[in-house]
Structure 1
Amino acid sequence: MGDPDDELLSRVAGGDPAASRALIARKLPRLLSLAGRMLGDRAEAEDVAQEAFLRIWKQAPKWRPGAARFDTWLHRVALNLCYDRLRRRRETSYAQPPDQADEGPAPDRGLQALDTGRRVSRAMQALPDRQREAIVLCHYQELGNIEAAAIMGVSVEALESLLGRGRRALRAALIDLKDA
């Protein structure tokens, strides 16, 4: 069975605007989710998704059906872009953190859920990059272990080890939420 995206990529390579819109509609939500979870910043996630689509447009004419799965390639591109941004963050120090608007629900609604979501997000950001990547791919992107391991360039056993360590770290960081 061939890659379900091969035909669409062929049409994108041919300059078909409808195919470009269809590809964006199909891939954008997952790219935003992946980048948002990796970076913890919606604006940066949008920038990563935009750069990933620019790379798709450039790569589409050169794409060889059957050489690789498009989704695997796209996830790897997005993850590499996320890691580039994470490296830049470590290199840049701020005297004062930038102000960010609170995009959450109104203060009188969902305070506990909002707090829990923030704590989970902080706990995810505290994980080592590879553990966070494994958890995002398997739990948030809903990829199977074989595909996630291929994207990460590790064995399935190594992926499972990363998942186990990441889950244990999250469980320890969020232990008090268990009884809430």
Structure 2
Amino acid sequence: MARVPARVSVSPAPLDDPDADLLARFAGGDSTAARALTDGLGARSYAVALRVLGDRAEAEDVAQEAMMRLWRIAPDWEPGTAKVSTWLYRVVMNLCIDRKRRRKRNGPALDDVAEPADPGPSVVGRMQEAERADALQGALMELPERQRLAVILRHIEGLPNPEIAGIMEISTEAVESLTARGKRALTAILSGRREELGYENA
């Protein structure tokens, strides 16, 4: 089972990577840098884990563990080796995959029900937005694992294909193929619910 090392050989980080600057400040004892990283990367880690796992409690555990690993390697971080966010996304992916494998070995829990991320819409559209978020989460959970990871990173997190390739340790072409197949599969899964979800005129 692949593990994420403290130093990763992915695309070099830009010199102005703000997360690397914050991590260096944290390693030097700056508590405000820790809060900034938690608010930014911690929240994004949770969002990705929730989309992959479909379970809030497990997503919280994954995000906390990923951030703890980041804190532990902070003193040894080498700026320019990788973007901090790329390293953290890969940790999150590995932790999620480990949990999904344990699920398969141990069987599903009674309360193992997928929940969508908080949509945060206006009051008027809250019900429909919640239904859309739930439908998207359900559709994502039907995708093959690698397609789901690629789609989440590209179309939900908005990462560029080269960064996704580094996170998933595959070629850019493979990322493009996975995301294209994943989008087609999502369209097919959701096609019968367009009117129900308010997309009939979209």
TM-score norm. by structure 2 comes to: 0.78
Q: Find the aligned partners of 1:78 and 1:16 in 2 and give their Cα distance.
A: 24
Q: How does 1:1-150 map to 2 (within 5 A)?
A: 1-2=14-15, 3-94=17-108, 97-98=110-111, 110-150=126-166
CA RMSD of aligned residues (A): 2.4
For residues 99 and 44 of structure 1, the distance between their equivalents in structure 2, rounded to whole angstroms, comes to 10
Distance 1:165 1:19, change over 3 A: same
Q: Does the Cα contact within 8 Å between 2:55 and 2:112 map onto a contact in 1?
A: no
Task: Return the alpha-carbon distance in structure 1 between the equivalents of residues 20 and 133 of structure 2.
Answer: 37
The structure-2 alpha-carbon separation of the partners of 1:16 and 1:158, relative to structure 1 and needing over 3 Å to count, comes to same
Aligned length, in residue pairs: 176
* Secondary structure of the corresponding residue to residue 143 of structure 1: coil
Is residue 87–residue 167 contact of structure 2 (8 Å, CA) maintained in 1? yes
1:112: Cα distance to partner? Answer: 4.6
SS at 1:174's partner residue? helix
Alignment-mate amino acid for residue 124 of structure 1: L
Runs (5+) with no aligned partner, structure 2: 1-13, 120-124
TM-superposed CA distance for 1:20, in Å, is 1.0
Unaligned 5+ segments in structure 1 are none
Using the size of structure 1 for normalisation, the TM-score is 0.87
Off by >3 Å, runs of 4+ in structure 1? 102-105, 109-116
One-letter code aligned to 2:156 = Y
